[in-house]
Amino acid sequence: MIILNWNHCTQLIKFELRNTPFYKYLLNIGVAIIFGWLFADILSNYFTESRSTPVIDMLLIIGISANSYMFRGYPFFLREVNNNLYIAPIQIHLRQLPFSEKTLIVSRLLSGFIFSIMSSISFIVILHIFLTTHHLAQIVSFSICWLMLVLSSSSFVTAAEPGSAMTKFYATFWTFFIVFLFFGASTLIQRITGHYFFEWYLIGTKEAPLLLTIIILVLSLLLFRLSLYYMNKYLSETDYHI
């Protein structure tokens, strides 16, 4: 049985937090503030006259996951470190230390959660400030569901760190496939409900907040479980001796 060592987890989390440049924290919060202002403007227009589009859906996804992609330290970005071997460089170092795989997985996910929660709080506070009073009735439902989406997105991004051997074509293909899958899912939701995801999300927070929360919770748990499976699989299978 693989044991989770919380002392090691804490050390690994502190290592990333201490070695993340201060300006990246500022950028993390700054981008969250910009997205809070942007979404307040979008929400205000939506409640009056505008309709959602796949472009707004893409803005939603960027707003959710931007901090996970953009503001982690250089060693935590997935990149080609050897011939067709794509790994976050930090994993090469960690795999040579006496940490269990479970400890590595939990520490990496928790680190991502810390950055995500930091940006989410900034985003939601700014959203509160810039939204007009009569729009605030659904802010609680919006915020809870947003936080769940942010954390599941963060886990999905972190899950890519263990990496794998793949060709550049394969890596490029999957990048475009994920983008295509997103637009396909947005279009499918529009075909079924008559609304794109962002619009459906806003209607849900207003008219059926409990049902939406349950749906988002199930979706987030599925993404989180998939992230755990992916990290465990590739931490076990990938050869980090280069």
> pLDDT (tens digit, 9 = 90+) per residue, 183-219?
788 788 888 888 888 778 888 888 888 998 999 999 8
In whole angstroms, what is the distance from residue 211 CA to residue 36 CA?
A: 25
Predicted local distance difference test score (pLDDT) of residue 227: 87
Under 8 Å between Cβ of 143 and 124: yes
Instruction: Estimate to the nearest angstrom the gap between the alpha carbon of 26 and the chain centroid.
Output: 18
What are the structure tokens assigned to 153, written together? 């997105």
- pLDDT > 70 in the chain, percent: 89
pLDDT 10s digits, 133-183: 555 557 788 888 888 988 888 888 888 888 777 777 877 887 788 778 877
Predicted local distance difference test score (pLDDT) of residue 222: 92
What are the structure tokens assigned to 70, written together? 């953009």
Residue 51 pLDDT greater than 70, yes or no: no
In the block, tokens 């007009």 appear at 132
One-letter amino acid at 44 equals S
Least confident span in 23-27, 48-52, 183-187: 48-52
pLDDT class for 46, splitting at 50, 70, 90? low
In the block, tokens 């309709």 appear at 51
Handedness of CA 86, 157, 16, 100 (dihedral sign): negative
Average pLDDT over residues 16-30: 87
Average pLDDT over residues 10-36: 87
Q: Where are the domains of the chain?
A: 24-237
